[in-house]
Structures are given as structure tokens and as C-alpha cells.
Amino acid sequence: MTEPLRCRPPAIATVQVDDANVRVTRWDFPPGSETGWHRHGMAYVVVPVTDGKMLLELPGGQTMTNELKAGVAYARAAGVEHNVINAGDTPFAFVETELKHLIG
């Protein structure tokens, strides 16, 4: 059986810095929006700008919900694959810093 077609609005990515060392992107998520499936080629740090309810779709059909808290950072290794969705009723935003020298 095939997956049903889902049409969510895209989250808004604004690249703020992109140099030899880092790429810094602000992500703004209106309610119900998503990044779309992607794999991180670099280690990265996320700092939420606002509180929010984030739903992660993971490989194999798994899902995970996280409550984002403004200013509470977290880090992930390269290779993470997911789709990030705003599962709340209010917009949220975070700033993602990808570390170019920690690839793979």
C-alpha cells in the first residue's frame, strides 16, 4: 500500500551566514508546516527562538514529538535523517548552525 499524499506548507529557511566554517539558517514554521525529508551532511546545533511543539518523522515510519523551549540548545551528529513538522497551533522558529569541519 502506498503512502497517502500529504500536502503541508513548507517551513521558511533564511540563510544568515554561509562561510568556510558554518552555515547558519533561521527556520520559521507556521502551524502545520514542514521542512520536507532531508539528511544532515554536517553536525549541527539548534537554538529555538520560540517555544513550540515539533513532530519528527523518522525513517521506518517512526515519529517523535519534542517540546522546544526558547534558548535551550541541542546538538546532533551528521547523518540525521528526518522531516520536521510544526505540530502546534502557534508558529515557532529556531536557528540551526551547521559545522562544516565536522562533516561525517
Domain CATH for 22: 2.60.120.10
Residue 92 lies in a domain: yes
Residue 30 lies in a domain: yes
**pLDDT value, residue 103:** 59
The model's confidence at residue 96, banded by pLDDT at 50, 70 and 90, is very high
Residue 62 lies in a domain: yes
- Global pTM exceeds 0.85: yes
Q: Classify strands 74-76 and 52-57 as parallel, antiparallel or unpaired.
A: unpaired
Find the domain containing 41 and state its range.
12-103
CA–CA gap between residue 104 and residue 91 (Å, rounded): 32
Rounded to the nearest integer, the mean pLDDT of the chain is: 93
Residue 20 lies in a domain: yes
Residue 61 lies in a domain: yes
Which grid coordinates belong to 66? 519534542
